[in-house]
Amino acid sequence: MGKTIRFVLLLLLAGCTEKHTIDIEVVDPWIAEIPPMISVTAALMTLRNHSGSTKYLVAASSPDADRIEIHRTFIVNDLARMQQQTEVEIPAGGSLSFNSSSGYHLMFYGGGQIQAGQRIPVTLSFR
């Protein structure tokens, strides 16, 4: 059965005093501001898997985007190439960083203009 997590939900849970079991923790989520006339942007973050089993990120969605795809950038012959990923693995007790070093990122397509400081709800789906 799949699980979904909202960035905003995790931010709210961080301030709770009760103990909560969270399998996947989203750390330092960041979405690039969209300049005028541009309709795509990228989101970066680190996913920490606190469970004893491997988890797979299989989808992402947001009311602020027409669609979100999981991508990885590879360098081939000194050229950067993006490739859509159907899923990414977060090992048990491990983490996966979405950053320039790993090449992983979420690509946001369409939707409205994202402004600096704006909170964007994003739902992540895992299996």
CATH of the domain at 64: 2.60.40.1890
Report CA Rg, the chain. Answer: 15
126 lies in some domain:
no
124 lies in some domain:
no
Q: So what's the pLDDT on residue 113?
A: 80
Q: How many domains does the chain have?
A: 1
- Domain containing 39: what range? 3-114
Tracing tokens 């690509």 back to the chain, one arrives at 107
Distance CA 114, CA 75 (A): 28
Distance CA 127, CA 122 (A): 17
121 lies in some domain:
no
Query: CA 42 → CA 1, 98, 102, distances in Å?
Result: 28, 10, 14
67 lies in some domain:
yes
120 lies in some domain:
no
Binned average pLDDT, 10 residues per bin, the chain of 127 residues: 46 43 89 87 96 97 95 94 97 97 95 84 94
Q: So what's the pLDDT on residue 17?
A: 43
